[in-house]
Amino acid sequence: MNLYIKGLGCISPQNTFGDVTFMENAVIPEGEYFTCVEPSYREYIDPKISRRMSRIIKMGIASAKMALADGGIAEPGAIITGTGLGCVADTGQFLDDIISSNEGMCSPTAFIQSTHNTISSQIAINLTCHSYNSTYVQRAHSFESALLDAALRISDGCMENALVGGVDELTPRLADIAKTMGLSRSLRDSNAAKGFVPGEGSVFALVSSDASGKNYAKIRALRFAANVSGHDAVRALCDEALREAHLNADAVDCVIDGNSSSDEGEFDSIIKSGFPGAARVSFTQYCGEYFTASAFGLWLGARIVSRGSLPSHSNQGGRAVTNTLIYNRAGDSYHSFIILSHD
């Protein structure tokens, strides 16, 4: 795979926009779960327009514009977005309106903005971009599916670049549901035996076929699969990614792992035994877990590879990094591997 990350835009629970300090001072949220640190949206969206936009749409547009500005491109060849739940706050608002009005007349705004493809569409409208536009809703592989679409279209010569993003929001209602079902744990409860800490984020990457030498990183491999059963099958998927990247396991300097659960189980040994000499960083310790959290993992991996070393606050801070493996999983079924190398 010859795909290069030319620009990045990230809104997350960390200070990842503007003058990024490369996670040197990680933000520890005060609440029960991770929520985004948001920029001043008037810098990216006309306030007269943004007042009718929901929070997730503003995050999507702002992070998309950050990536374009970072990559020095005004209009992308495509806008491809992955989202697990879409505009879930608007969906909830619309349902609340139906109940409160006793199934009477409701404002159409929340309904119009509640569909999953609203984010990608609103970005296109804001940019006046008439190019290819698509949204993938594939649960924990939503972002990976969007990235694969971009890679295939660019390799086929359909376009020179694409804006690829992963966007999901967390509402108090969703957090309460996950907690009630016993799926999540509190950010403050580090001793919990099971469960993840919920999070959210909006990350866009401007990817291109241009090997200019000024890119953040080269995406050398992408492999993902759902309903994978057992350690051996997941290890085989990882080996496929290494073969695609033409790398041996010992060439991987750093593994960025998306599993922040204290109940790591059998799949944790894939990293420990397969890459014993590699540094290890958990990206969900910064953003929490959500369907498109792997987009944040890509952002972090690209910045580490571009910098050429791990951030100083990590347990192996300052260590040189050329090749990075991003491994994300959701439960026992969804597994993905992305390999980045220095451009």
Sorting pLDDT into bands at 50, 70 and 90, what band is 261? low
- C-alpha 258, offset from chain centre: 10
Q: What is residue 106's predicted lDDT score, i.e. its pLDDT?
A: 85
How do residues 327-337 score in pLDDT, each as one tens digit? 999 888 899 99
Fold assignment, 217-341? Peroxisomal Thiolase; Chain A, domain 1 (3.40.47)
Closest CA to 294 of 156, 163, 142: 142
Q: What share of the chain is helix, strand, coil (3-state, %, to 5)?
A: 35, 20, 40
70 compared with 21, residue with greater pLDDT: 70
The predicted model gives 125-142 an average pLDDT of 97
Q: What is residue 297's predicted lDDT score, i.e. its pLDDT?
A: 97
CA distance 252 to 29: 31
How do residues 38-59 score in pLDDT, each as one tens digit? 999 999 999 999 998 999 999 9
The predicted model gives 318-340 an average pLDDT of 91
Among 1.10.3080.10, 3.50.50.60, 3.40.47.10, 3.40.50.300, what is the CATH number of 3-208?
3.40.47.10
How do residues 195-225 score in pLDDT, each as one tens digit? 788 999 999 999 999 888 789 999 999 999 9
In the chain, residues under CATH classification 3.40.47.10 are: 3-208, 217-341
Q: Is the pLDDT of residue 21 over 90?
A: no
Q: What is residue 260's predicted lDDT score, i.e. its pLDDT?
A: 52
Sorting pLDDT into bands at 50, 70 and 90, what band is 31? confident
Please tell me what DSSP assigns to residue 87: S
Give helix 88-100 / helix 55-71 axis angle, nearest 10°.
Answer: 160
